[in-house]
Chain A
């Protein structure tokens, strides 16, 4: 579980986004929301993918289509709390903190929150059946390009 979280964060922070969909099972659910929306049962996400293909499309759009200033993240991921079983998977909650580093060197605390995950085993490896990214704040600075 710790390895999955560590590999996931390294793939994003090292700009190996093409590896990112591989951390998910097929089908899967990846969405980024806020604590406020989550508490109120509001389903909309800033990003929303219910297939690995949609995750691949997100990466392709970032590489091929979308315009944003060069930037990178540094994830600090906390210890997963095991919340119980969910079908064939395990429910966990993991806190995170993401610093965004812009091309001019500006560093900001960009997002904090928790990953609400359902983990399943596929071919001897743990994968995310669900990763709901619940940001503590509903306020996003400028834009959210790279996934959290």
Chain B
């Protein structure tokens, strides 16, 4: 029995989560194998990042470094960024364009699909040395990943047994992806946020519809989202994916639900000096002001008013992670819409008016629960199920995460 299996959950309920699950080193190593390298799909880049054959980006699936590249025939390929010879990184760039890849260490060469095609001094020098006859180059390639594209998103999976991306997400979540990514995009910028906490604390935070207007005073005060507004949360049948949404702006200035509960995020007198920040356009035509969507294990698609971004959650050990932000608009944005998006990007990212707190709250949990490995957190809002609900005062999608997690982990 490995260390990961020796750990136990309190009981069958999804409403209690033990803190060791964020702390245990053996459990973390098991997550990389069973989840990130298991039958799941990880977001790796945007199709817009790879317009031409040979264009590539390097990223990670879990902790595995990967190269994602558009091959000569237009297909997108992904393979481990690890030389088959001695294990060095094959590419040392974040992005670029290549005819082939060559490891710097001993000049072993790979084609755009990641197949080993060349070995320096394969025949030796002056008839001496070299690789043994019969050494098969094609049998010695870095691990190749399956790829799938979905409305401009590129996902990769190391597992032959993963279902198709469409079956993986399910119809409801697919519809919510299509709703946002309905035309060609234009990337506006990228940033990396290093967070001092386990990756799951961030994913839970994104799925947690309950916290948004409580932790984020900016949200509540400007009525961007409040739990008293219309909206809800969709949870995929397997629990792993979700989409939460807010419909229109509730005219709840007379609603006293927040004030009665003495909640910090209720500040009536807070007004913007420049109200253009929140001037938004109903660009998707469905009155959905805000939609946050996750794909298990670590992908987020975000629409907050006209502020659009994808976020990639990368684990970096039990106690740290990176959040890779890519901000985007659409290729046909008018100058006014472009300027609006740049202003609204103040809402998100490491300095975001409504997402700044998400950068530190996972660290607060890590520090608060430092000595609590055998204690549990309480995930009971909205009951104990993982069903979709037409309210956001629920933790159904957080329970959904744990439902999927425990299935993949065999816990």
Binding site for B on A (CB under 8 A): 32-34, 36-37, 42-51, 53-54, 56-58, 60-61, 64-69, 138-145
Cβ–Cβ contact A36 & B277, under 8 A:
no
B-side interface mostly: mixed
Known: A57-B273, A57-B277. 17 other contacts (CB 8 A): A32-B351, A43-B188, A44-B327, A46-B351, A48-B342, A48-B343, A54-B277, A54-B346, A66-B217, A68-B360, A69-B360, A138-B190, A138-B191, A139-B194, A140-B191, A142-B194, A143-B193
Q: What residues on A are CB-neighbors of B349 within 8 Å?
A: 46
Cβ–Cβ contact B190 & A36, under 8 A:
yes
- Residues 322-360 of B at the A interface (beta carbon under 8 Å): 322, 327, 338-339, 342-343, 345-346, 349-351, 353, 356-357, 359-360
Residue of A nearest to B344 (CB): A48
Could you give 16 example pairs across A and B, Cβ below 8 Å?
Answer: A42-B189, A43-B188, A43-B189, A47-B346, A48-B345, A51-B276, A53-B272, A57-B277, A60-B273, A61-B353, A64-B221, A65-B218, A67-B215, A67-B360, A142-B193, A142-B196
Cβ–Cβ contact A144 & B351, under 8 A:
yes
Residue of B nearest to A140 (CB): B350
Query: In the bound complex, how far is the Cα of B187 from the Cα of A68, in angstroms?
Result: 29
Knowing A47-B346, A68-B356, A143-B359, the reply to whether A60 touches B190 (Cβ < 8 A) is no
Q: What residues on B are CB-neighbors of A56 within 8 Å?
A: 273-274
Q: What residues on B are CB-neighbors of A32 within 8 Å?
A: 351
Chain B contact residue count (CB 8 A cutoff): 41
Binding site for A on B (CB under 8 A): 94, 187-196, 215-218, 221, 265, 267, 270, 272-274, 276-277, 322, 327, 338-339, 342-343, 345-346, 349-351, 353, 356-357, 359-360, 363
What is the CB-to-nearest-CB distance from A146 to chain B, in angstroms, rounded to a whole number?
9
Residue of A nearest to B327 (CB): A44
What is the CB-to-nearest-CB distance from B56 to chain A, in angstroms, rounded to a whole number?
15
CB within 8 A of A43: which of B265, B267, B342, B351? B342
Cβ–Cβ contact B194 & A66, under 8 A:
no
Cβ–Cβ contact B277 & A66, under 8 A:
no
Query: In the bound complex, how far is the Cα of B357 from the Cα of A142, in angstroms?
Result: 9
What is the CB-to-nearest-CB distance from B327 to chain A, in angstroms, rounded to a whole number?
4
Cβ–Cβ contact A60 & B270, under 8 A:
yes
